[in-house]
């Protein structure tokens, strides 16, 4: 599963070059052609001015909410945040295990101390608008996806459990916690950041979904909105189910996507071409956990780091 750089151009009219901005927990901007404007109309969100920005979270590994916000914005007119726990720093592996409810695993090849945090649990709920979903599927070219009328008005609940974020090396400062900071994203990393590695470990998202409502096509659309080509978005479910995918974040400006092997399970190596954010991200699932290992240096370091995690 490897795609050359020139194959990364989206193949649908509603997703040429876009700049999603997530504010207040909802998808707030999609920039495109007439198809993109109809997509915005389907989401009932006013079209703002185009900006050159990464999705919040794309440059801050360990933030898994952009995909969830996109899913919510496609399913419903509004999203209710039921639970939003703050992140908490943890001083040891034992403290991390107590805070997250699972036994963390760390890369043995990194001998420097990790800065760790327990990522707070997050729960959102929404009421299905089946007409809105049908319009979005039509704009995305997914007219063959069955949509049960019985799902109209049903409640969808997405529960993101507590996760662990472990950071090594000299990492770029996160963007300011302001609207402007989120729009601008993190500053471009420097050569000093090559030592930066961030590991996210999380259980999969749990969900209440009405019978017959297939979440996989919605996930493919959300992945395209986050910067993947249609072919890349279709490859993700081959390695991760949609609940595992919702537990992690994806970088933008992908240059290549390759299949690898970590501890005997398939993994996805994402190499970026952007000047902001990380240069690579390695994703895999094993046992009850989903792993996202992100680096700012050479992507050749990804597999040795991942295979040393225990």
Q: Residues 99-145: pLDDT tens digits?
A: 999 999 999 999 999 999 999 999 999 999 999 999 999 988 888 89
User: Cα separation of 223 and 245, whole Å?
Assistant: 9
Q: What is the pLDDT confidence band of residue 220, given thresholds at 50, 70 and 90?
A: very high
Q: What is the pLDDT confidence band of residue 68, given thresholds at 50, 70 and 90?
A: confident
Q: Residue 92 contacts by C-beta under 8 Å, 6 or more apart in sequence?
A: 116
Range of the domain at 201: 5-307
Report whether pLDDT(248) > 70.
yes
Mean predicted lDDT score pLDDT of the chain: 79
Nearest to 102 by CA among 158, 160, 159, 164: 164
Total number of domains in the chain: 1
**Buried/exposed code over 118-148 (b: 16+ C-beta within 10 A; e: otherwise):** bbbebbbbbebbbebbbbbbebbebeeeebe
Give tens-digit pLDDT for 256-290: 899 999 999 999 999 988 677 789 999 999 999 99
User: Cα separation of 238 and 236, whole Å?
Assistant: 5
By CB atoms closer than 10 A (0-12, 13-18, 19+), residue 275 is exposed
Q: Mean pLDDT over residues 58-84, rounded?
A: 78
Q: Which residue has the higher pLDDT, 255 or 17?
A: 255
pLDDT for the residue numbered 143: 86
Q: Mean pLDDT over residues 74-101, rounded?
A: 95
Under DSSP, is residue 294 helix (H, G, I), strand (E, B) or coil?
strand
Give the helix ranges, DSSP H, for 226-265: 230-235, 242-245
pLDDT for the residue numbered 9: 34
Q: Are 293 and 197 in contact (CB under 8 A)?
A: yes
Report whether pLDDT(6) > 80.
no
Q: What is the pLDDT confidence band of residue 21, given thresholds at 50, 70 and 90?
A: very low
Give tens-digit pLDDT for 158-210: 999 999 999 999 998 776 666 665 555 566 667 788 899 999 999 999 999 99
Instruction: Look up tokens 């297939």; give the residue.
Output: 214
User: Cα separation of 166 and 89, whole Å?
Assistant: 10
pLDDT for the residue numbered 58: 34
Q: Residue 69 contacts by C-beta under 8 Å, 6 or more apart in sequence?
A: 22, 25, 26, 27, 79
Nearest to 89 by CA among 202, 165, 31: 165
Give tens-digit pLDDT for 27-37: 333 333 344 44
pLDDT for the residue numbered 170: 92
Q: Are 10 and 229 in contact (CB under 8 A)?
A: yes
Torsion sign over Cα 101, 91, 244, 220: positive
């Amino acid at each position: 599963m490897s795609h050359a750089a020139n194959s990364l151009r989206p193949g649908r009219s509603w997703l040429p070059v876009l700049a999603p901005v997530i504010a207040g927990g909802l998808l707030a901007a999609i920039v495109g052609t007439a198809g993109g404007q109809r997509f915005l109309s389907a989401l009932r969100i006013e079209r703002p001015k185009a900006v050159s920005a990464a999705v919040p979270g794309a440059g801050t590994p360990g933030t898994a909410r952009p995909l969830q916000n996109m899913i919510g914005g496609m399913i419903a007119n509004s999203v209710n945040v039921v639970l939003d726990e703050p992140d908490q720093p943890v001083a040891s592996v034992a403290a991390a295990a107590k805070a997250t409810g699972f036994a963390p695993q760390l890369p043995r090849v990194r001998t420097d101390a990790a800065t760790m945090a327990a990522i707070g649990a997050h729960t959102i709920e929404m009421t299905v608008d089946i007409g809105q979903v049908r319009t979005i599927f039509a704009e995305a070219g997914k007219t063959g996806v069955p949509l049960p009328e019985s799902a109209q008005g049903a409640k969808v609940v997405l529960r993101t459990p507590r996760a662990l974020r472990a950071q090594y090396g000299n990492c770029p400062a996160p963007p300011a916690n302001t609207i402007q900071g989120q729009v601008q994203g993190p500053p471009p990393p420097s050569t000093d950041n090559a030592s930066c590695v961030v590991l996210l470990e999380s259980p999969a998202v749990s969900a209440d979904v009405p019978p017959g409502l297939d979440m996989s096509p919605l996930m493919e659309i959300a992945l395209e909105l986050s910067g993947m080509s249609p072919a890349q978005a279709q490859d993700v479910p081959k390695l991760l189910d949609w609940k595992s995918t919702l537990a992690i974040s994806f970088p933008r400006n992908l240059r290549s996507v390759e299949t690898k092997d970590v501890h005997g399970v398939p993994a996805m190596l994402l190499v970026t071409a952007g000047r902001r954010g990380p240069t690579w991200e390695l994703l895999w699932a094993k046992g009850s956990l989903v792993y996202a290992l992100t680096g700012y240096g050479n992507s050749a370091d990804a597999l040795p780091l991942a295979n040393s995690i225990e």
